[in-house]
């Protein structure tokens, strides 16, 4: 059985990479809160010394020396293994990074970087951040952080991030090489709060329809969403697409507040209850800024928790179309309890229910391993690439406000199913797109032509006039004769070449216009986005939501 499991994982690995999965996606699902409370556990429970006595006895009497921290960790993990998959123990050395992701900021210098040929290249500088004020520019090569050399073999992103982060207002010196200059410049700067944006982009898809892509629900998500929505309305927004694909959740409150922007009156958004927690009902409280326009929510198998709360509320009140693939299926609420040693326990305290009364939590009766392999099961059955024929886990019928039938258990099922575009799942093609060679070519072209590239007035000017065929030619020229022949064979397929070309052009656009530039291009060839536009510009929209 173990060997079969290993073989299966090895077989599916290319597909997982092709779909840009993060290896730790399920850990990410587990570690995200649904509520923002962080409590000291001593205020909740009384101390029970049984575990302490056992570990003390081992320390004092065991035949060999032992690592006490490992004993505690394994003991806690053994206990919670009997609970649900989303109750997790977080070691002290991991807690700050996890909290930082949801708090929406950290203390650093305000740069983005990429490792190109064992060199740290500054690819973006946060406007008005410490690095910007100190004169760091896109294209600089980072040589040293303080006295630490940060170039050469074996350098990792984790190490660089660790060196650049620090306490607020702490000082750090950077040694940098400007593009085309042999002279090292040294700049001193003070670390400060740097935002971690949870809204990737808010842009218009055409003259009437805009899209807001949310990657997680953090402490700053609602404010970011409001800013993006306000900007789009000034640009003529009438229809809105909210992209929750690959959004594994986070805090409940920003999801509730965003739902409130769409729902009129005092409609219920979600309610929670558990055996040892007070039931809570979350109600729409204010006049929303987008209660009337056409709305589509994009979801997929990585949309979880708070994403499902937002999608469920919109679906149950027939406020808009839910489009894509069945969501992850996490309907559990966690509270975080901080322990004396700096670690924490995120404990499931309740289940949440959509306005119609359904729970979206999928079964974990088969154990944690089976629960975490759900993606592979969906791929094997064809659910992700074929037809939406998955069996309903909970056959109880629930009803939306317009009496459409919906079901609980196993996630939110979309109103319109959109499978993966299998023409883009070629492992060989995706290996090219995300290769170090492509990254190097794009960067080299940018450095050599950055003055000319900056003459593009805006992303539309760039989209019309930049020819990415030049990048393809440069990439081919850098390959040996055999590799060049293989790549040309792959690109002989017109669809492969068109997709490769789009990806190169989008990656260059990110250097020039940040995420807005990247997604402006990517969305033009996004099957789900195209399908959303088609539905919203036709009678299909009203038919789907029962009006």
pLDDT at 11: 47
- How confident is the model over 429-482, as pLDDT tens digits? 999 999 999 999 999 999 999 999 999 999 999 999 999 999 999 999 999 999
More confident residue, 2 or 159: 159
- 223 vs 258: CA distance, rounded Å: 9
Q: Which residue has the tokens 């990656």?
A: 507
In a domain, 89, yes or no: no
pLDDT above 70: residue 76: yes
Query: What total number of domains does the chain contain?
Result: 2
- 446 vs 440: CA distance, rounded Å: 10
- Model confidence at 304, pLDDT cuts 50, 70, 90, reads very high
> 269 near 259, Cβ under 8 Å?
yes
Distance between alpha carbon 167 and the CA centroid of its chain, in Å?
26
What are residue 174's DSSP bridge partners?
Answer: 145, 187
More confident residue, 387 or 156: 156
pLDDT at 182: 86
In a domain, 391, yes or no: no
DSSP letters, 312-329, are HHHHHTT-SEEEES----
In a domain, 338, yes or no: no
> 198 near 223, Cβ under 8 Å?
no
Count of C-beta atoms within a 10 Å radius of residue 389: 9
pLDDT at 117: 87
What are residue 281's DSSP bridge partners?
Answer: 271
DSSP letters, 199-256, are EEEEEESSSSEEEEEE--B-TTHHHHHHHHHHHHHHTT--EEEEE-TT---B-HHHHH
In a domain, 109, yes or no: yes
- 519 vs 507: CA distance, rounded Å: 10
Task: Show the tokens assigned to 180.
Answer: 């085309």
Which residue range(s) make up the domain with 509? 424-529
- 414 vs 312: CA distance, rounded Å: 10
In a domain, 446, yes or no: yes
Count of C-beta atoms within a 10 Å radius of residue 318: 17
In a domain, 378, yes or no: no
| Mean of per-residue pLDDT scores for the chain | 89
Q: Which residue has the tokens 């009497």?
A: 61
pLDDT above 70: residue 420: yes
Domain boundary among 195, 221, 255: 195
Helix (H) or strand (E) holding 172: strand 171-177
pLDDT at 41: 59
Q: Which of 235, 273, 242 is nearest to 259 (CA)?
A: 242
Count of C-beta atoms within a 10 Å radius of residue 331: 30
Task: Show the tokens assigned to 66.
Answer: 């032992």
Domain boundary among 195, 220, 245: 195
pLDDT above 80: residue 392: no
Beta strands in 339-427 (DSSP E): 344-353, 397-399, 405-407, 416-417
pLDDT above 50: residue 349: yes
In a domain, 518, yes or no: yes
Of 70-84, 89-103, 310-324, the least confident:
89-103
In a domain, 159, yes or no: yes
Q: What HEC string does 99-150 produce?
A: HHHHHCEEEECCEEEEEECCEEEEEEECCCCHHHHHCCCCCCEEEEECCEEC
Q: Which of 31, 90, 24 is nearest to 250 (CA)?
A: 31
- How confident is the model over 206-254, as pLDDT tens digits? 999 999 999 999 999 999 999 999 999 999 999 999 999 999 999 999 9
pLDDT at 42: 59
CATH assignment of the domain containing 109: 2.30.42.10
Rg, C-alpha atoms of the chain: 25
How far is the CA of 365 from the CAs of 111, 272, 362, 369, in angstroms?
A: 45, 22, 9, 11
- How confident is the model over 7-40, as pLDDT tens digits? 444 444 445 445 444 444 444 444 444 444 455 6
Task: Show the tokens assigned to 145.
Answer: 């952080």
- 138 vs 124: CA distance, rounded Å: 5
More confident residue, 33 or 296: 296
- 328 vs 413: CA distance, rounded Å: 10
3-state secondary structure of 515: helix
pLDDT at 447: 94
- 547 vs 531: CA distance, rounded Å: 20
> 109 near 194, Cβ under 8 Å?
yes
> 397 near 357, Cβ under 8 Å?
no
Q: Which residue has the tokens 């060989």?
A: 428
Q: Which residue has the tokens 């055996």?
A: 275
- 136 vs 110: CA distance, rounded Å: 10
> 270 near 312, Cβ under 8 Å?
yes
Domain boundary among 136, 161, 195: 195
- How confident is the model over 159-213, as pLDDT tens digits? 999 999 999 999 999 999 988 888 899 999 999 999 999 999 999 999 999 999 9
Q: Are strands 88-90 and 141-145 parallel, antiparallel or unpaired?
A: unpaired
């Amino acid at each position: 059985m173990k060997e079969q499991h290993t073989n299966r994982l090895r077989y599916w690995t290319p597909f997982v990479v092709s779909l840009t999965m993060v290896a730790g996606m399920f850990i990410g699902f587990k570690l995200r809160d649904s509520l923002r409370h962080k409590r000291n556990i001593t205020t909740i429970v009384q101390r029970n010394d049984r575990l302490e006595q056992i570990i003390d006895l081992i320390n004092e009497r065991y035949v060999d020396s032992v690592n006490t921290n490992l004993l505690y960790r394994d003991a806690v993990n053994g206990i919670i293994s009997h609970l649900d998959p989303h109750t997790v123990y977080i070691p002290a050395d991991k807690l700050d990074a996890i909290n930082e992701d949801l708090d929406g900021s950290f203390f650093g210098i305000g740069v983005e970087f990429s490792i190109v040929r064992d060199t740290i290249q500054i690819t973006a500088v946060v406007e008005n951040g410490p690095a910007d004020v100190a004169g760091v520019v896109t294209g600089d090569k980072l040589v040293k952080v303080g006295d630490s050399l940060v170039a050469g073999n074996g350098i990792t992103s984790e190490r660089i991030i660790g060196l650049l982060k620090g306490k607020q207002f702490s000082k750090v010196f950077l040694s940098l090489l400007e593009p085309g200059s042999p002279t090292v410049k040294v700049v001193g700067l003070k670390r400060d709060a740097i935002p971690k944006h949870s809204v990737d982009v808010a842009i218009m898809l055409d003259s009437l329809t805009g899209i807001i892509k949310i990657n997680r629900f953090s402490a700053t998500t609602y404010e970011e969403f409001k800013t993006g929505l306000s900007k789009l309305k000034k640009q003529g927004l009438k229809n809105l697409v909210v992209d929750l694909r690959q959004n594994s959740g986070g805090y409940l409150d920003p999801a509730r507040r965003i739902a409130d922007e769409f729902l009129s009156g005092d409609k219920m958004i979600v309610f929670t209850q558990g055996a040892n927690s007070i039931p809570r009902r979350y109600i729409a409280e204010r006049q929303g800024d987008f209660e009337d326009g056409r709305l589509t929510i994009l979801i997929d198998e990585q949309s979880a928790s708070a994403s499902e709360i937002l999608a469920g509320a919109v679906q149950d009140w027939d406020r808009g179309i839910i489009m894509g693939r069945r969501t992850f299926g996490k309907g559990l609420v966690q509270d975080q309890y901080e322990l004396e040693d700096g670690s924490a326990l995120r404990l499931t305290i309740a289940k949440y229910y959509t306005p119609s009364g359904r729970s979206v939590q999928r079964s974990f009766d088969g154990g944690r391993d089976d629960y975490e392999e759900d993606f592979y099961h969906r791929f094997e059955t064809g659910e992700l690439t074929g037809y939406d024929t998955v069996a309903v886990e909970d056959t109880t019928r629930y009803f939306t406000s317009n009496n459409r039938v919906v079901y609980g258990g196993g996630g939110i099922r979309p109103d319109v199913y959109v499978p993966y575009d299998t023409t883009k799942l070629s492992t060989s093609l995706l290996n090219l797109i995300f290769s170090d060679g492509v990254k190097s070519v794009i960067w080299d072209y940018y450095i050599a032509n950055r003055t000319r590239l900056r003459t593009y007035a805006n992303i539309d000017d760039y989209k019309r006039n930049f020819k990415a065929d030049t990048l393809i030619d440069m990439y081919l020229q850098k390959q040996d004769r055999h590799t060049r022949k293989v790549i040309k064979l792959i690109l002989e397929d017109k669809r492969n070449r068109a997709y490769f070309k789009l990806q190169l052009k989008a990656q260059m656009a990110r250097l020039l216009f940040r995420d807005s530039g990247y997604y402006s291009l990517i969305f033009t060839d996004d099957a789900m986005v195209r399908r959303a536009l088609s539905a919203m510009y036709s009678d299909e929209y009203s038919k789907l939501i029962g009006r």
